[in-house]
Amino acid sequence: MQKIKVAIADDYSIFRDGLKVGLNKDENLEVVLEAENGEDLIKQIETIRPDVILMDLKMPVMDGMEATKIIKKRFEDIKILIVTMYDETKFIIHLMETGANGYLLKNADPGEIRKAIYSAHECGYYFNDIVNKALLKKLIVKNNIKPSFNQNIEFSERELDVLKMICNEKTASEIASALFLSPRSVEGIRQRIIEKVGVRNTAGLVMFAVKNGVI
């Protein structure tokens, strides 16, 4: 297996060092760059392209929210996992709708962080209890956050099959094998669903599916 290249953006070097110790225990993960703020991170990924970024929210010069927006516009394929102390619903929903692929708290154990990296890299998202509770709260208090999903959407049977399997954390290769399609065809269907729904990425698709009772 080719190593998953990881970037860490956090203004506390002691936290970055701790993360590296935990990640280096996994031979399939490689920390390729570190940054102490969003601006520094963006400069570095122009030349060193990571697969997954572990991003803090509160940083000097440029915070994680602004950096996430910019990176998702310039480098769509890079997965971003927010790792922060803030567990407020407004932060979680805003970041996920902006394009983040997962949201973790800084007290998460190294095993969960490694699991999140694999999931984001292979499936496009990592949803844990924090994200699920935020989604549920958003459903209950609908007027707090303006919905951004297109509600009147019709899916073909094949599109629904692919969407349900995405929500079950299946990779493109696994979906292709189960539905007797090529991985390229699966990717084409996934992109078509994203365009229909009007979200940014696979994490947005899962949020849509949860919100609209698809799964």
pLDDT at res. 139: 64
* Beta-carbon contacts of residue 170 (< 8 Å; ≥ 6 apart): 123, 178
For the stretch 160-200, pLDDT in tens is: 999 989 988 889 899 999 999 999 999 999 999 998 888 88
Q: What is the mean pLDDT of residues 17-24?
A: 92
pLDDT at res. 148: 47
Q: Which of 72, 107, 140 is the last residue of a domain?
A: 140
82 shares a domain with 156: no
Nearest one of 173, 178, 166 to 207, comparing CA atoms: 166
Give strand pairing partners of 29.
4
For the stretch 120-158, pLDDT in tens is: 999 999 999 888 888 777 765 554 444 444 557 888 999
Q: What is the mean pLDDT of residues 70-80?
A: 95
What angle, 0 to 180 degrees and rounded to 10, lies between the N-to-C axes of helices 89-98 and 202-211? 120
128 shares a domain with 35: yes
* In-domain check, residue 54: yes
109 shares a domain with 52: yes
Q: What is the mean pLDDT of residues 71-97?
A: 92
In terms of residue numbers, what domain contains 154? Answer: 150-198
Distances (CA, A) of 6 to 30, 46, 114: 6, 14, 10
pLDDT at res. 169: 85
Average pLDDT, the chain: 89
125 shares a domain with 77: yes
Lowest mean pLDDT among 21-25, 30-34, 146-150: 146-150
For residues 90 and 100, give the distance between their C-alpha atoms in angstroms, rounded to a whole number.
Answer: 14
pLDDT at res. 146: 46
pLDDT at res. 117: 98
- Report the sign of the C-alpha dihedral through residues 80, 83, 87, 88, in that order: negative
Nearest one of 25, 24, 105 to 57, comparing CA atoms: 105
Rg (CA), the chain: 17
Give the total number of structural domains in the chain: 2
193 shares a domain with 132: no
